[in-house]
Structures are given as C-alpha cells and as structure tokens.
Structure 1
Amino acid sequence: MSNSQTTPGIVPARLPGEQIARNFADLHAPYDAHEARVAADRCYFCHDAPCMTACPTSIDIPLFIRQIATGTPEAAARTIFEQNILGGMCARVCPTETLCEEACVREAAEGKPVEIGRLQRHATDALMARNVHPFTRAEPTGKTVAVVGAGPAGLACAHRLAMKGHDVTLYDMRAKPGGLNEFGIAAYKSTDNFAQAEVDWLLRIGGITLETGKGLGQGLDLNDLQQAFDAVFLGIGLAGVNALRAEGEDMGGVSNAVDFIAELRQSADLTGLPVGRNVVVIGGGMTAVDAAVQSRLLGAETVTIAYRRGQSRMGASTFEQDLAASKGVRIMANVRPVAVHGAGAAAEIELEYTTEEGDRLVGTGETLRLRADQVFKAIGQTLEGAPEGIQIEGGKIKVWDAGRTSLPGVWAGGDCAGGGEDLTVTAVAEGRDAAEDIHKVLMG
C-alpha cells in the first residue's frame, strides 16, 4: 500500500468515522439464546447427515445442534472443538453456503437450510465467553515438535500435538500469530479482535511456546529444525502474489489485495486508511471480493471486480458475489487486464474482452477502459520460501498420508500443501490430521 498512499485520488476519510464504523459492523449478528433454540429446532437430526459429510473437519453437526436445542450450548461447543479447535473462526468465515448448508436436507426441500454456521458461532462463543478451555493436556511425552507458521493449519496442529502431551514450539514470521485469520479476512467477518482472542484461548492448552518474527529463511533453517526437534510441521502458507503481466502494473496505485486487507485488519482507525475514488480489483476469488467490498465500505465511489472467465467460474461463492453486488460492487466477467494507464500513477485500466474455447482463454482483441486510481491484484498467491530438497508439485509442497512430505520427519498442511481447497476449515483439518499422524509416528 505504500505506493498508493501518496497517489493522487487515494485519500483517507472518504466517509465520516461513524459511517465507517457502521459499515464494518458484524456481517451476521450473533443469535441470542431464543433465536438459537428456534433455529436448532429446524434440524431434522439426520442419521446419515449429509451436512456432516460436507464438513471438511467432520464435525458431528446433528449432535451439536441437538445440544443447542436442549439448552446446552457449551456441550455443543465441545462437540465442535473436538474436531475443529478453530470452530469459532470457521463459524464466521467458512463458506457454509457451499459446504454443510448446501448439503442440508432443508436446503433441498425448502431452499432454506438450517443456519449451521450461525448455530456453530452461538455454541463456540458461549463456551469461549466463560474463559475456559475444554480440553486437558496429556502427561508430557518428552517429544518435541516444531510448527512453522501460526496460521489455521499450524495452530490446529500445534494444539492437537500439545493436547497429546508433546512440547511444541510454534514459529511465525509476522509479529502476531493467526495467519490469514488475523491478516487475510475481511474485517466485517471477524470483529472485536476475535482472531487474536481465539489464539490466546487456544494457547491455554499449555505446552506451546510461541516465537514470532521467525520463519524459514528468516532465522530458521529446516535442517537445523530437523536436528533439534523430533518432528517438523510446515504451515507456511502462500506468501507470493502472481503478477498481472500487464503494462504499467508497477505504477503508483497498483498493489496487492492481500496487503490492502492486511493493512486494513491491523488498522486501529479505518478513517486513516487511504482508498481510491475509482477502484478496480483483478480476480475472482474470496480475496477479490473482500478487497472490493471493503473499498466500498471505506467510501470508494465506484468499485469493479474484473474477472477473466465467466462469472460462474469465479472462486468466490454465490453468497460472496451477491454480498459484493449488495454493497454496490460491479462484477465484470470475461475481461482481463492489458495495461494500466497514467502519468506515473494509475488513472485508467485497459481491459480486453475474452472468450473461452474449451479450457483455453482467448482474447477477442476488443478492449475498454475504466477509470481507476487504485488497482488491486487478487489473482492468486504462490509458494515462497519452500525449503530446498522438498518435493513440489503444482506449485505446492507435495504431501502423502496426512501431510507427510518427501523429507523424513517433515509434514506440511494448509495453503502451502497440495491436495485441498484453500479454506480455513480445510487448513484446520489438515493440521489436525497431520498432528495425529505425527503423534502416531513419535509414539512408535
């Protein structure tokens, strides 16, 4: 964002503070106790529950909803946390509309599923509000594990290992833990500093030493970790950002959407965060939607998401696309950037219309220009800092059998590893499953 803050047209305080505060309020207000009971009563408590199969962490959804229906949300929270220790954040950010709720029998029968995500939040918030931890650490095993990366995968792995009695050292190259939960999710999805509160709560299991400001190539060497610890888990995420490959992308006003979102999430005063008058976001995933919607909420007058393929191919869910439209974001499909125009700073972006011939994307030669004093790149992230000697496939660390890598004693999971969707809930499942496999190996 540094090249944007001095660019003409990108200024702070486009809206008064009270308006911004309203704009960034909780996206889904939490249920009160009565609302939760009513919502829970809609569940059929299916024996072969399709919602449970659709959940990457395999939470026993009918059980926890029944526990809410009987007035025991804390018991419901324990059911959730047994499978997903970050169930509180997942309840806020998980695309339930394409996972458990899409599979809900009520959705098929009525077009209105049980609101599983909001019920999960009700339960997890109830237990966390009591400031207690639902699990007790096992007797120490004497085994040590290094977990590199304190995002969802690393946190889930570290917690499960510590619960089993192992001593875990958790490293993260940023000044704060949390990964994408802390730095990469729209502020209206995680209000009141919830990501940090959840990490603090998780660490109460004991047996986890957190060291920030350290990562691979930044004070840590994998060979040294292998020598010093009995096992290593890599949850290093994706730090690189793909290039636009468009003329002028190095101009002022052109920056990475992930950096914009991270700066916004860490801002103590959103009125001080600069935003353009005319914003264009290149991409079609959740990051693109988060950057676009938040630009509008900060006061951008026009915001456009430009996606190179058809709108049905966008990575963002239909719910996220509808949310963007409801906030005044325009979605343009079948266009790709060819140039950013301006006198040193972005003023317009030139887009070329595209068509698809099978899986091949073809430019038509027809172009248009949009006013754009701020352009965000949200076209995917890439793996950076992978240790030498580890096998890479498809741009990610290749894994087998619950996260085992090509290096003995080294596991990986989350966005940096191949095989799963880049979702918080998937990362949690991979970190948890790797921890179970590490435990099995360490205990012989």
Structure 2
Amino acid sequence: MIHVSRSHAGVVLLAAVAPLALAGCDSVGRSAELAASPSPSLPPLTVAVTAPVARATGVPVSAEIGAKVAGGTVRSVRLVDDKGTVVPGALRPEGPTWVPGAPLAYGREYTAVVTAAADDGRTAQARTTFTTAARRPDAPEQGSGLYLFNGNTYGVAMPVAVEFIPGVPQRDRAAVQRRLFVTSTPAQPGVWHWVGDGSQVFYRPPTYWRPGTKLAVRLGLAGMRLSNGRYAAVDRRATVTIGRKLEMAVDNRTKRMTVRRAGKVVRTMPVSLGKSSTPSSSGTLVVMEKLASTIFDTTDELPPGEAYRTRIAFAQRLTWGGEFIHSAPWSVGDQGYRNVSHGCVNVGPDNASWLFGQTLVGDPVTVRGTERRIGHGNGWTPWNLTWREYVRASALPVPAALRNADRKVEPRNSVHSVDSRM
C-alpha cells in the first residue's frame, strides 16, 4: 500500500442566487403582525415573522427568515440592508422559511418584510428589523471541502461529496444538512448520507445521474456555530454538468475489464489485480482523481526488500487507501492470468492510455470476486450500498416515497509525494 497525497477539495466560486419578485417595504425597525380583513365566510389571513425577533442584535450571518401564517401561505420575502441593498434568496420548499442566497454581512442592520397570500387573492404583511453580529466569532474554524469544481463535467456516478475537518458532531448534523443545497436539472430526487465520524457526507439519487444533468450545489454554512466550539466561516458553491454514461466492470474470475458507453461494450482488456496478501477491493467504486504521471512510494509502508518508489503513468484513483487503475508494463505477461499487484488494477500501457482518454472523474468502476470488500468511506462509496441502506444515514427524515424508491423514482425538484498501491 503506497502513500499518494490525498487531494483536498478546493474552494469553489460563489454564484448569485436570482432574487425573487418581492413585496416592498416602507418602514424599518419594528416587528408587526397584520391581518387582511376577511369576508364573513372566509377565515382571517394572518402572518408573523418568527425569526429573527424584532430588534435582535448579534444575529448570526447564517440567519434565515422564519414566518408563521394562518389562512394562507408565504408568497414572498424581501430582505434589505441598511444601505437599501436587496438581499437575494429563496423560500425553502418544505416550509415558510426563507434562506438568503449568501451569508449576511457582519455588523449590519436588516429589515425583512414577509408577504402572505390567501387563495382568494387577499394579502398580509409582517416585518422585523435586526442587526447581525459585529464581527466573526473568535473561534476555531470548522473546515469544509466540496469535491466539485465549478464548470467541470463529471461521470454519472459522481456523488456530491463533502468533507469536514474535523467531523461534524452527531448533534449538529441535522442543522448542517439543512444548509446543504442541491438542485438538479432535469430534476432527480436525492438524499444526503453521513459517513461514520461525520468527516464525509454524500448526496446522490437512487440511480446514476442522467447524462446531461446540471447540478447546482451550495454549502451554505458560513456563520454556523457547532457544538464542538467551532465556527463555519465559508460558503461553497459549484455548478457542474454530468457527462455521457461510461461504466467499467472488473471481474477477478476472468481477469478482464469490460468498458461500456451508453450500455454498449466498447472495449475489453486483460487486468491483473491484487495478489492474495494485498487483494483489490470488491464493490462499486468511483474514479476520484486522474494523474497522467505520478510516483508511487511505499518506502514508509513496506519492509526493506519489498518497498519501491516507481513512476506511474495514467493513474486513476479509486480509494483513499491507495487503489488505482494504472499502466503496469511490468505485469503485462500476468494480465488476464494471475494477480500480482499490491491492490491496484494493472492494465497494459496501450489500454491504460486509451482508458485514461475516455474516463471522467465520477465514472463508476465495479470490481467483483476479490477476497476483500471495499470499506465504506474508503473513497466515494455511496453507490456500494443499497438505496435502503443508504437513506438510513440521513440526519433528517426522508419522505416515504423517496425512502422506498429502490430502483424507480418519479422525478421531482431536489433542493436540498503521492501514496498509492501498485
């Protein structure tokens, strides 16, 4: 097993959220509950702002605007700062709460106006004025990373993969998950799944993304305090595209890889997998990283006489533990017949070069028949679970129709030094 540097997620570009068509605001600095006069046969329409409360100070820059409505629904929210700048944002689909499209500014006064409407066209408004915290808290930062880069194209198995350093405590995961937003076009439902110590959380639909899907992702965490005493200081965003469907299947019995594009076989190639003392991992894996040239170095892991430091071409990472698909000219005679690697999928130079030119980060790789199963979280492993297993690790309730989806789901909006093995 070799040491290849684990790449960290980059900070992705912030993108503006399109503002809603919002009602006007004609006064500031007070909270009110107003009712539209109903006709004798209609219930009254009332609306009140529940958060932030009127004249609140020290409000986190992650604040959302909460409302309570009777006799109607929230139609719009208008949030304006003390310089008259309108803050864009959107209502949550599941309830009368409005989320700013970006963190609020420190030490600023804001006025929110909530407009509710009844089915018969009556409207009512309520407002509140509050002030955000004067400055960023003096607290350790909660690290986060998003393994999507704005404008890139990914394979159909690409999960929305988020990393936290340190892991998010169990008691905070529901609140954090509520601030993780994914919109897919065309709409495909999905669920967040927490891994172990909370250092990783994945989002995926029940089946692979449709080719051509657009994903808009926001980690709206800036301003959140966690129970571990840390403070989330950064919002992250990415808008990406899902490319064509390409799948790789590796069979230890035949020692061959089959490559399919859009369901059709385009190439088969002999492979050599991990020998019995260092077996390759079976399961559904995902290409995590592509390196045209790198160095595998096992000098800190293997005893003298077994360790090596070797330059490798066309390496495609499958696990954090150091399993790759890569060119292995030294094992060409073994490929298709016997396993001689330290856990990687060895292929010949020509096949490795061709495959490297075909794949995207996010393409699925299914390995079958080896002596070891992939450990959950050792790479982007959410596809290695059944859907019912997967949804159990959401920190928020999953709607019954989505929880029981298994294979068929009706589309709907979802807002919601290198180490390696040879």
- Decide which structure has the larger Cα Rg and report it: 2
TM-score between the two structures when normalised by the length of structure 2: 0.26
TM-score between the two structures when normalised by the length of structure 1: 0.25
User: More helix by proportion, 1 or 2?
Assistant: 1
